[in-house]
Structures are given as C-alpha cells and as structure tokens.
Amino acid sequence: MKKKYFNTKTEFIQNHKHTDFKLILGYLSCAFALYGGYYGQVTPFNESKEITFIYIIFLGEKITSDTKERLTIHTNTKKYSDIYNITFEFHENNSSGKPIDGKCNTSKSFGNWFDVNGLMNTELFEKELANGLAIARSGKLHLQ
C-alpha cells in the first residue's frame, strides 16, 4: 500500500537495492537456520543465538534536471503494542548547491486507520503518508 502510493502519487521511483539485499539476507538466513539446527544438536540454543533486525520498507529516488531527491521510510512496532512508528528521511541535492535534509517521526495507533471490522481506511493512511513526506521535505526534524 505504501509503496504504491509513493510510486504512483508522488512520482518517486522505487530503488530495489534494499529489496534485493533483503532477499539475499533471506537466503543467507535460511542457510544459517539449517546450520543452526545442526549446531543446536551439539550446543545449547541459548549459548549460540544472536539476533539482528533491520527494517526499511521504502527507499526511493526522484531525479529531475536540477534536483535529486531520496526518500527512506522505516517502520517498527513493539511487541504487544498497537502503536505503529513511521520514520520519514528525506534528502535533496539541488542545483543551488544547498542540500536539504529532513526527518519526520510519527507514532499512531493502528486504530487510526482500521475500523471495527478490520478494514483499512486507505485515504486516511495516505494522508498520513503525504503529511510525513511534506514535513520531511521541509528540511526540519519533526517528532509527531
């Protein structure tokens, strides 16, 4: 849903490098899981575990004749929490030579975008995405 919005309504072109990287990590994690299963027969699990989380949901670029814009969206939610955290990071290099860097963090309950039947209000969610992008584009740090 988020990817479709940014690709169609804001004219950003998605950069698939992170998606490809996540696929490679997925294959590597399967190999580690196979090895971990074997190693678990020899060594207790608690002595051999290590977990790393990286979650980027969108990385896009928009290039025109005088500007190059980059948008990165990170999301997360804590276990047993209904709060969804979205971080917008925006960077622009333009012909004036003055780069623009902006960041917007927003945290809202899933209940803001879903009704009692579990249906998502996409218009409301897209407004939230547009607002976060506008704030990040302003070149300021903003916590919502």
The C-alpha torsion from 77 through 80 and 83 to 85, rounded to 10°, is -10
Whether the predicted pLDDT of 134 surpasses 80: yes
pLDDT in tens, 32-77: 777 766 766 676 545 554 433 345 778 889 998 888 999 999 888 8
Q: What is the pLDDT of residue 141?
A: 73
The predicted pLDDT at position 43 comes to: 66
Residue for token pair 């992008």? 133
Q: Mean pLDDT over all residues of the chain? A: 81
Cβ atoms of 30 and 48 closer than 8 Å: no
Q: Is the pLDDT of residue 79 over 60?
A: yes
pTM of the model: 0.62
